[in-house]
Amino acid sequence: MIVRLGYVAMSTVVENASPSRTMTYTTFSKLADREAAILKLERIAEENLHNTLRLLRHNRAHDIHLYRFSSKLIPLIGHEDLEREGWDPFPRLEPAFRAIGEYVVEHDMRVSFHPDHFTVLSTPRDEVLRHSIADLDRHVRMFEAMGLDERAKCNIHVGGAYGDKEAAAKRFIANFERLDPRIKERLTLENDDKTFTVAETLDVCERIGVPMVLDLHHHAVNSGGMELDQPLWERIAYTWVGQRVPPKIHMSSPKSEKDPRGHADDVRAEDLLAFLRSIRLFTPELDVMLEAKRKDGALFRLMDELKEASGIRVRDAATVELI
């Protein structure tokens, strides 16, 4: 089994390369010259995109094929007031987006977004649903501006339960079915750490034909008593059939016993290896997104540990093979 590692949104190794610089709306609205203020926002966005490209170059130098973009690339996008004014930063940002997309394609990278937990398709509230769809649309638009095909995914959670998980799941499915196909084909669903377990998320995935991203850490703190055994993993892996990318999982280690849901600085090799060994016979390829506090720093450290582990062959600086 070939296992590729990746990380999320920012580097703890490359300095001054934040892809998430922003401006608060308070600061923005205090600027007297509206045109200059808008220009400032777009400058920040360009800088974020430029830093994203820098991170991709850094990734390439370290054989990292897997990366999740920051969702904060364009400051204040989606803000009500700017929306009302008809602000559209995309035309100006198009060259920067295209440069990222070309680099991704040229070096055969796998990239994703993770719209944050305010994107809730299970919501009973029309307004929240509207905002959620608009947010998904903006993320998809960024992929489109990059010129990336549907292998570039937006990963989200099922959402809240509102006291009736069954009803919430049904609402998610109904709302999903009404989405624009260009959004539908970009979605993946991940089990969360409080509400929708692996089994419940997988059930939704199977019903709507969407691939599932398994989060091992979330499963550890919200398993619903279900053991993550071979048959369950096979069902998860099966949701990826026909996707032209291998299954992807998320991995992090608990911060402490007191805060088991928190993310630790690093990922313990043993936590990952135990799972990999349990599935290696059924999975030729697997992508593992690390969600550790130390980001790429944690990836490098994990690779150092994996080098020492038995039954592991190192293929490159961010890829191992289980033998």
Which residues of the shown chain bind DNA in the complex (CB under 7 A)?
10, 18, 20-27, 72, 116-118, 120, 122-123, 125, 127-128, 131, 159-163, 194-195, 259, 261-263, 293
Residue 235 CB, nearest approach to DNA (Å): 25
Name the residue nearer to DNA (CB basis): 195 or 319.
195
- Say how far apart CA 312 and CA 323 lie, in whole Å: 6
What residues pair up with 312 in beta bridges, in sequence order? 322
Residue 68 CB, nearest approach to DNA (Å): 12
Contacts of 96-102 with CB under 8 Å at 24 or more apart are: 96/45, 96/46, 96/49, 96/50, 96/53, 97/49, 97/142, 97/145, 97/146, 98/145, 98/146, 98/147, 99/49, 99/53, 100/49, 100/52, 100/53, 100/56, 100/146, 101/145, 101/146, 101/147, 101/148, 102/147
Name the residue nearer to DNA (CB basis): 111 or 292.
292
Residue 302 CB, nearest approach to DNA (Å): 17
- Say how far apart CA 251 and CA 268 lie, in whole Å: 10
Residue 91 CB, nearest approach to DNA (Å): 23
Indicate if the alpha-carbon torsion angle 7, 10, 12, 13 is positive or negative.
positive
Burial of 284 (0-12, 13-18, 19+ CB in 10 A): exposed
Name the residue nearer to DNA (CB basis): 253 or 283.
253
Name the residue nearer to DNA (CB basis): 39 or 314.
39
Name the residue nearer to DNA (CB basis): 261 or 313.
261
Name the residue nearer to DNA (CB basis): 106 or 116.
116
Residue 312 CB, nearest approach to DNA (Å): 28
Residue 37 CB, nearest approach to DNA (Å): 11
Would you say 204 and 161 are in contact if contact means Cβ atoms under 8 Å apart?
A: no
Would you say 303 and 6 are in contact if contact means Cβ atoms under 8 Å apart?
A: no
Name the residue nearer to DNA (CB basis): 108 or 127.
127
Residue 78 CB, nearest approach to DNA (Å): 8
Question: Which runs of E-coded beta strand occur in 197-306?
Answer: 212-215, 248-251, 285-290
